[in-house]
Every structure is written in structure tokens, then in C-alpha cells.
Chains A and B, each alone.
Chain A
Amino acid sequence: MLTMAGLEVSQIQRLGAGLEGVVVAKVLRKDQHPNADRLSVVLLDRGGETLTVVCGATNFQAGDLVALATVGSTLPGGKRIEAATLRGVQSFGMLCSEAELGIGTGASGLFLVPASASPGTPLQEALGLDDVILELNVTPNRGDALSHLGIAREVAALQGSALKVKEAPSFQTAAPASGRVRIQIEDATRCWRYCAKVVEDVAVGPSPSWLIQRLDSCGMRGINNVVDVTNYVMLEAGHPLHAFDLDAVRGGTIVLRTARAQERITTLDQVDRALASDDLVVCDGAGPLVIAGVLGGATAEVSTSTRHILLEAAAFCPSTVRRSRKRHGLATESSFRFERGIDIDAIPRILDRAASLLVEIAGGRVLSGTIDAYPTERPRRTVVLRDQAASDVLGMPVGRAEANRVLNALGFKEIESHGDAVRWSIPSFRNDVAIEEDLVEEIARIRGYDAIPITPLRTLMPRAGGEARASVEEVLRASMCGLGFDEVVNYSFVSPSVLEAAHCGAGAIRIANPLSTELSAMRTSLIPSLIGNLIRATRYGAQGIRIFELAKTYASRSADQGGDTPASERLSLCGLLWGRPSGERNWIESRATVDFYDAKAAVETILRALRVSNPKFIPHEGLLFHPRRAAGVQVGETSLGVLGELHPEVRDALQAPAGTHLFELDVTRLRAHARTVDKAQALQRFPSVLRDLAVVVDAATPAERVRTLILEAGKGLLARAEVFDVYAGSKLGEGKKSLAFALTYEAKDRTLQEEEVAEVHGEIVAKIGTQLGGTLRGSPSEASP
């Protein structure tokens, strides 16, 4: 029910779970075991029945109450209790220590049950463990739900029942509290209200066990009865309280002000802290006692020698508390509640409750009256709810009667109603409600979201742009997977030293508060991440790797580059190839490792998949790649990316294996040059003429240069020219190589004649001779060895 009302129950814990078979038993007699020095035989009364148990502990005597695990029960540790005979004496059960019962750590002796219990009572009941703890995830808007009272209020509203709140008695004494201490608020923007009560002649000591038990159930430790009372009332009512040793409050004054320059405080956690001028502090006549709403100091702390108590309940500005909490790294139950907002109107009532509980537990007397410093009274907020509003937002009819029922149950008060609207007063504990939609949510929440009907999404929307954008990414992913690359997803942040080692450090954006230095620089390139993946793969013995990542890279940019984003972000496609061409040893594969042309094949496939026209591969000399084994990819003057073998220096710096090949492409630019099929090309109708051409050129002449020349010279008839063989050998002469091209001649409108092909072919050969000094292979002019 709570979960469905927005107060998610994250855990349900049954106290005393596993203690079902354990009862309180009274020791009637304790005798030495006849056959064992260290054991005794204990006669027990378990409530109308007597039985004997053999026991090894010594910390008890006749008349004590002990915890008896009866035959057939199973202890929280999983131990099953059975009747047994120990050294000749029968034993019907087991007497347990705290540790065995799972209620504490004491294992050296038996757990002694407080004398108030009667024999035969289940232990759970005797210890108040017959209870259930609900752990709730309270969203940060619901400061009002951080207490038992707050949850009770929700449950009452959800069930339509009335909430009962105990009224605290008022106390009358001859001398009023106001005579004992003066309160002065110097900073009313940070301290909205400060109330105090005085309780005299208390006996500070340990709290009763029920109080400690309840605090413990809520995850708080017992300290002393005064502090415990303040904590208990905080849990009960949701308002943090503080108790001072009144005699230690110097000058009989409490001052609320911001800290002064150089001021320090030693907080209860024994840390000496420098205060900031933004910290609100609760001071006495001499100096700071408490960082307001966060944590108290050692001065005026309640101790066993304390006689008179000053009880404080205040309203501090939530953001002031939040900033102090963050500044000092002190998250406390108190700061948690102040940040989420408290009930400013409830403060006097809560102080009354705390004072009366304090007297009940620690004795003393409450001085009459509450000292109340409240510089500017906060008016109740009001919000108008139109009858139509809930129906409009929720998509279902909500009548005024229904809305009124829900809002009244939650403590909202109707102020006035017009024809089609009601003005509501917001209760002081609901700091989160400020607009009409908030009221609509309250109605929906309490009625249950299940009550809202399901309506299908209406009418289709026209789409534009987005689809093409996404589809380029899909084409890239599909192509890469088709090429055998596995997709990886790496963190966007990497180690700055790795970026530097890969010469990618320039313009890198850093995180001011990283999880670790290793994850502190936004990557400017995907390459270092993929090298990291490769190193990991080689560690477990991979013989070949092909991986890719499609993700953004980040770099700083100057304002004049335009755009409305704080940094330059570019989508990048990066691939890495290393090791065996097929990933594993294979009986039929002759190549041991991949090389540049495997990387290039991948890039060419991608360019073809996107129909990028006329990409050029140009030798690339940079610091990241081997300067003789790398290329830049360009279309016109636009660089699309780089590919090549990792530079040996970078390889060694990153401890990458030899033969690592990579490519990285700028997807934004790829997208700009990707083409769609606008017009299908008709098939060639007339037969093509195929000719081979092998030319000998200088070894340093790029094949592409020769090919370009061939295509230019063959213009008109030559449709394609592809390298099909590269050969270098002593036969050709020092510094020479032979390039063999397959040439395809064709014409769209006729069958080519031998003669016209021969003529063009001759022109090509001539041009290679004049422009590149190349010769036909096997021709008379070829240099002979």
C-alpha cells in the first residue's frame, strides 16, 4: 500500500526472526554435572513445566531468567535443537548466549533475560522483538514522511481512517523557562524560528531497554537518556532536536548567527573544524556550540554530570544546512531532515512532547512556557484547484467530492470555493506542495495510479531527420559486424597518462571529481580504449582480435567555433585488428597476422556501404601511427579519418602487442558524404574488352599514382583499372617494381573495335613512359639484369 502511494518499501525485516522456539525459562537449580567438571545440570521452569538442560556456561545462578531453545526449534544460526544425552545426563534443549540468539555479540556466557519477564513467555515477546521493521525509500520531496507520525498520516489517508496524535501535557512552574535563557536570532534569513524549553534536575543515565531497542530498530545507537529522548522524538515526529547542558551555556544566551572569520568548532566526532562565513552556528555568549542543523559541538554537551537541560527545536533554512553539511562532509539524521524541510508550525508541540518524555524517563521538572523566537511568521501557502484540472492531467474524471475527500484526509484545508475551483491551504508539513499539479498528484497518488485508465497514444506523428541519422549508425554497426568486428562499449573517461602516451592529450577535458585518476580525462579518441581492450584480450590468450566502438569523443573548443554546447563532441567509429586474420590458428589459413590491408579493407567496405564517392588514401605521418604504414582518408579536402599500424613508440608506451592496426573515422563527416541511391545505373549492353597491363616503375611510386595516370590517359574508353599484381625482384633491377593492372574498356553505344582499343592502350603505355619513366614489363626497353 505504501509502495503504491509513492513511499516505496525497500525492505521488510522481522525482528527476532528465527527465535520462534525460544522461551524464557527460570533457573530453579544448578548442579554440578556428575561426569563432567565444566558442565552443569540445570533444572528449569519453562512456565508450568520443569525440565533439565545440560549447560557449559557459568554466568548464572538459581532464580535467573534465561533463554531456552526448546527441543525441535532452530536457532537463527541454523542450529537445530534436539533432545540429547550428554555424558550420561539427559538434556532437553539449550540455553543460549546473545550470539546464538542473533541479538548481540556476547558469546562468553548465557544471555540473561530481564527480570520482568515471566517463565514460558516467548523470547520475542519478552524482548519486544515481536515487531516488524519496514524500510522506506522516501523521495527527497517528502520531508514530511521522514517520521513515524508522517507515515501514520499517510496510512490514515490511504485507509480513510482518522489519525490520532497524543497531546503532550503542559507544565506549570513558578519560574518560567524564559527567565533562564535569552534567544537572539541575528540572521533571520538562515534561522527562521528557534524555540527552547528548560528541564531542571534531570538524572542523566542510560535509557530504559525499550527505548534503546526502538532506537536500535531504527538504526540509531543509545547514548544517554537525554540524547536518546531527542533522537526518539525526532524519529517519532520528524523534527531534529538538540539538548544542551544549560549550566554550560555561557552568558545565559543562545545566539543564532553566521560564523565569524577564523572561528572554529570541535564537533561531537572529535574533529576540530574551521567554520565558513556561510555556516549558521548556534552560539552561546562565548562562541559556537552547534553547526546549525548539522552536528553539535563538545561545549555544552550533555554528560552524566549535567543537571539542567535546554531543549532546542528550530527551523533552519534548508539550503544553509545543505551547504554546511556538504562543506563539512557531515551527513546526519538532522541535516537530512532539515534539507528536506520540516514542519515549522509543529515546533512548540514537538518540544512539549520531548520535554514530557524527558521527565518521564530522566526525571526533573519542566519549566513553564516555551521560549519562541520567530522573527517573521511564515504564512500558509494556498493553492487553487480547478475542478477540471485533475481530469485534464490524468485523463479520467475526478469529481470535486472525491478531490475534497482525498485532500482533507491528507490535512489540506479548504479555504474558499468558487464555481469551478477550490482554494486550499497547504499544511505546514507539506513543503513540497506549491502548485495545482501538486494537488493533482496527491489525488492520483491516494486514489492509486492503478485507477487511471490506459489510453493508447494518439495519432501518428510526422517524422523528419532523425531516421536517416540513426540509420547511418545502424549501417556502420551492421558493416562492422559483417566484417567480423565485435562491438565494445568503453567508458568515456580514461587515464590522462594513457591519452598522453597516445598523443591524444591535447584539448582533453578533465573531470574535477573523478572516481579515480584512471577515469579522469574525457577521451579525445577511442583508440586508447580499444588498445586497452586488446591488451586485456591478449592476457587471456586471444590469438586474434577485431573490435570496434561507435561513440563520441570530446575536446575543448573555443567560443568562435560556434554551437551551443560546452564542449566539442564528435561521433567516432574506431576499429582495431590484431593477430591472426581469422582469430585462431587454422589449418588452411597461410597468413599469421593481419596487416595494413586488412584494416584498409574494413575502411573501404564501410565507405562502400555508405556510398562515399571518390575517397582517397594518402600517406599519413603522425605520432600515433607508424609513419610508413598509415594513411589518411579524404574526400576532396575533407579528412574522414586515419588508419594504420600503431607507432612502435606508442605501442611500447602502452605495452600493446606488435602488429596492432587501427582506424578511426569521423562519423559526422562520413554521414555528410554518405549518398543514397537516387538513380539506378543501366547495365552495360555492349561487351567489354579486357586487357592486362604490367608496368615497371620506381619502387617508391605509389600504385594509385600510376592508376590515376592510366585512368586519365584512357579517358573515354577505359572504365576501370585495378591492380592485380605487385612484384619486385632482382630480375626487374634495383629499386624497381612491377605493377600489373586489369583494364576494362567499354563504350555505352557500341561494340569496341580492336583497333580503337589498341590505340588507347598505346597512349596509356606512352604516358606512363613519359610521365613516370615506366616501361612495359617484358618489353625490349626493360632494363635487363
Chain B
Amino acid sequence: MQDETKRIADEAASLLREAKTREEIEAVRVRFFGRKGQISLLLGQLGKIAPGERKAAGAAINAVKAELDSAIAEANAGLRRATVDAELREGAIDVTLPGRARFQGHRHPISQALAAVRSIFEKMGFEVIDGPEIETDFYNFEALNFAPDHPARDMQDTFVIDPTTLGSTGAKGPVVLRTHTSPVQIRAMLRSKPPLRVIAPGRVYRRDSDQTHSPMFTQVEGLYVDRGVTFSELKGTLSAFSAALFGSRTKTRFRPSFFPFTEPSAEVDVSCVFCTGTGCRVCKGTGWLEILGSGMVHPNVLRGCGYDSSDIRGFAFGLGIERVAMLLFDIEDIRNLFENDHRFIAQF
């Protein structure tokens, strides 16, 4: 029996040395451990051995069994190591080559600035609404308290639509490209009862084109009408907005101005975001940047929309988004925003 186990151990060791694949190792295992394998045969012969020697024989078989087990495991491990080694050796690549190129999309700076502005007002509870860009004289001017021949109309040089190209919409009076988003105020008030707290972003048009004027630009109109709204609240709202957009250290200044549809009216300046108020190129040395027009909704406008102006008051404001984008990103020429040059947009 001793001889037999010795022979088995030797044979297994020699076969495992020869085995180069997982299958060959498996074949060795089956040869010794399979149902008709040599170890099984040996165990089968145990019964024929004299009871006195049986114990020793069993121990010997167990010993060779354990030896074989670990030899097979060792062979498997060796094989796996060799495979991994080969995988590591042969899998070399040049990690300095660039990755697969992929387009990276960029949001236009105007849309980024608009998103920033909108999100601030949305947090203050302003609802986003929309209105037409091709608008009647009524909504764009008349309902906003622009008298027909008043020079206030010259504040906004207007594109007029060729009426013969309009079809039969039955629009009364001249049709224009809206010069501001303010007509959306009127549409909102005619549609809903107060309280109303809305912003209306969108494109507006003025016949003007130079380094700081574009014939098309983007405005955000704001309107809050309710009982007892005050100028003080207007100041609070727009000061909070400026601080949220340009940083908490931004100072806000309100100056009297004139818009036909607000009374009192105010221009809103913020302390220059570049020089923080000491005076520079962008603020033309004044330390202030004009960013908003605003005011208390004119009683004529409220009454025209069927609101009781003795009870209901409101404030309105308008903000140029290109101006905001130019300040946020230090863009000098407004025309850059509309050239749509990939090299420009890809910066943002």
C-alpha cells in the first residue's frame, strides 16, 4: 500500500508538471479523484486489507489525497498567474494618446445669464409666463400709457410690421416687433385677477445697432400686483435680486427716471462688479452700473386692465439679459453675443 500511494504521488506530480491548460489539470484530477480514479480504487481496496493494517493504510491514502489536492490547487494557481502575467505583458497601450474625441455642448451666455436671473426670481415666487413678440401697438404702447404722439415713443425706436404680410388676423392698429417685454404685463393682468407675481423673459427689438445696442436683445419683465404693494418692497426685491446675482456685497442704488407705465419710476444701478465702486472702464469711472428700469405700475395701466387702482398697486421692472451676460462674463461688445462663433460660445 505504501508503495502504491508513493507511485500515485509520483505519477500525479509528473502529470501536473506536464499539464499546461486548465483542461489538462482537470484530466489529472479526474484520473485520481474521479469515480473510477486511482484514489477511489485504493479506497475500495481498504476492505481487503487486514484490520490491523487498515488504519495505517487509510492514513496513507488520506495523506496522498491531501498532497494531490494541494498539488492540483497549486497547479491551477500557477496557471492563473501565468495567464495574468501574459495578459499584463501583452496588454500594454499608450496612455498618452488622447481619448476618443467627443463634442462638448455649451450653453449660450445669454441663456446662462437668463437661467441665473430666472432662478433667482423663481425662488422669490415669480411665475414664468410668455407673450408674443409680434405685438399690436395697443399692447406695446397704448395700454402702457404711451400717448400716441408723445416723445416717450422715441425712447424705443420701433420696427413696424408690413401689414400686407400679416394675413387677416384682424389686429387693430399698427403691428410692431415688441420693443420691450412690458406688453406681457398687460396680457397677464387682463387674463388674471390680482395678486399676480410673474416674470416674462423673451426677445425684444429696437431699431438700433452698435457696440452696446443690438437690434434684438433679451429682457426679463417682472410684475407684482397686490393690495398695498409699496416702492419700499420694490427696493427690497431688486436689492435682494442684485445681491443674489452679483454677490452679497453688491450695493444697489435707485434713481428717479421716467417710463410712461410706471409712476414713480426708478433706474436701478448696482455697484460696479469689476471695480467694486472705485471707478473703471466698464462703469465709465462712476462706480455704478445701470441694470434695471423699474417703478410702481401707473394707475392708468392698472385701470386699463380693469384693476381698481385705489385698492391695488404694483411694481414692475425690466432687465436686459445681454447686459447681465456682459457683466457676468466681462464681454465688451454686445455683437459678440449674436455672431454665434463657435470659438466664442465654447468659452462658456
* Closest residue on chain B to residue A488 by CB atoms: B340
B108→A319 contact, CB < 8 A: no
B296→A559 contact, CB < 8 A: no
A486→B346 contact, CB < 8 A: yes
Using A393-B230, A455-B232, A492-B205 as known contacts, say yes or no to A5 and B256 having CB atoms under 8 A apart.
yes
Q: Which of A235-243, A347-355, A459-467 contacts B (4 or more CB under 8 A)?
A: A459-467
Is there a chain B Cβ closer than 8 Å to A593's Cβ?
A: no
Is there a chain A Cβ closer than 8 Å to B162's Cβ?
A: yes
Is there a chain B Cβ closer than 8 Å to A8's Cβ?
A: yes
- Chain A residues, CB < 8 A from B128: 466-467, 469-470
What's the least CB distance linking A135 to chain B, in Å?
13
Using A322-B151, A457-B240, A511-B177 as known contacts, say yes or no to A487 and B134 having CB atoms under 8 A apart.
no
A569→B152 contact, CB < 8 A: no
Is there a chain B Cβ closer than 8 Å to A210's Cβ?
A: no
- Chain A residues, CB < 8 A from B197: 461
* Closest residue on chain A to residue B102 by CB atoms: A582
B105→A437 contact, CB < 8 A: no
B166→A567 contact, CB < 8 A: yes
Q: Which of B223-263 contact A (CB under 8 A)?
A: 224, 228, 230-233, 235-237, 239-240, 253-258, 263
B107→A477 contact, CB < 8 A: yes
- Chain B residues, CB < 8 A from A550: 111
Q: Which of A232-276 contact B (CB under 8 A)?
A: none
Residue-wise, chain B 3-25 has the 8 Å CB interface mask toward A (1 for contact) of 00000000000000000000000
Query: Which of these, B127, B159, B203, B209, contacts A513 with CB under 8 Å?
Result: B159
State in angstroms the CA–CA spacing of A339 and B151 once bound together: 6
Is there a chain B Cβ closer than 8 Å to A551's Cβ?
A: yes
Q: Which of A43-86 contact B (CB under 8 A)?
A: none
A457→B233 contact, CB < 8 A: yes
State in angstroms the CA–CA spacing of A394 and B235 once bound together: 10
- Chain A residues, CB < 8 A from B231: 393-395, 444, 452
* Closest residue on chain A to residue B252 by CB atoms: A454
Q: Which of A33-41, A201-209, A584-592, A758-766 contacts B (4 or more CB under 8 A)?
A: A584-592
Q: Which of A298-306, A541-549, A633-641 contacts B (4 or more CB under 8 A)?
A: A541-549
Is there a chain B Cβ closer than 8 Å to A515's Cβ?
A: yes
Q: Which of A568-584 contact B (CB under 8 A)?
A: 569, 582-584
State in angstroms the CA–CA spacing of A441 and B263 once bound together: 7
B134→A522 contact, CB < 8 A: yes
B255→A3 contact, CB < 8 A: yes
Interface size on A, residues (CB 8 A): 102
Is there a chain B Cβ closer than 8 Å to A327's Cβ?
A: no
Query: Which of these, A393, A466, A566, contacts B166 with CB under 8 Å?
Result: A566
Is there a chain B Cβ closer than 8 Å to A378's Cβ?
A: no
Using A454-B236, A463-B125, A463-B127 as known contacts, say yes or no to A533 and B169 having CB atoms under 8 A apart.
no
Is there a chain B Cβ closer than 8 Å to A728's Cβ?
A: no
Using A393-B231, A489-B337 as known contacts, say yes or no to A481 and B169 having CB atoms under 8 A apart.
no
Is there a chain A Cβ closer than 8 Å to B65's Cβ?
A: no
Query: Which of these, B115, B215, B233, contacts A395 with CB under 8 Å?
Result: B233
Using A437-B299, A441-B264 as known contacts, say yes or no to A392 and B230 having CB atoms under 8 A apart.
yes
- B residues whose Cβ falls under 8 Å from a Cβ of A: 97-98, 100-108, 110-111, 115, 118, 122, 124-130, 132-136, 148-152, 154-155, 159-163, 165-171, 175, 177, 195, 197-198, 203, 205, 207, 209, 215-216, 224, 228, 230-233, 235-237, 239-240, 253-258, 263-267, 296, 298-299, 313, 337-343, 345-346
Query: Which 5 pairs from chain A and chain B are nearest by CB?
Result: A484-B103, A395-B232, A395-B230, A6-B256, A319-B149
- A residues whose Cβ falls under 8 Å from a Cβ of B: 3-6, 8, 139-142, 318-319, 322-323, 339-340, 392-396, 432, 435, 437-438, 440-441, 444-445, 449-450, 452-458, 460-461, 463-467, 469-470, 474, 477, 480-493, 507-515, 519, 522, 533, 536-537, 540, 542, 544-548, 550-552, 554, 556-559, 565-567, 569, 582-584, 586-589
20 other contacts beyond A461-B125, A492-B203, with CB at 8 A cut-off? A140-B150, A340-B151, A393-B313, A445-B256, A449-B255, A449-B266, A454-B232, A457-B233, A463-B127, A480-B105, A481-B105, A484-B102, A484-B105, A492-B133, A510-B162, A511-B162, A515-B215, A537-B341, A559-B168, A565-B169
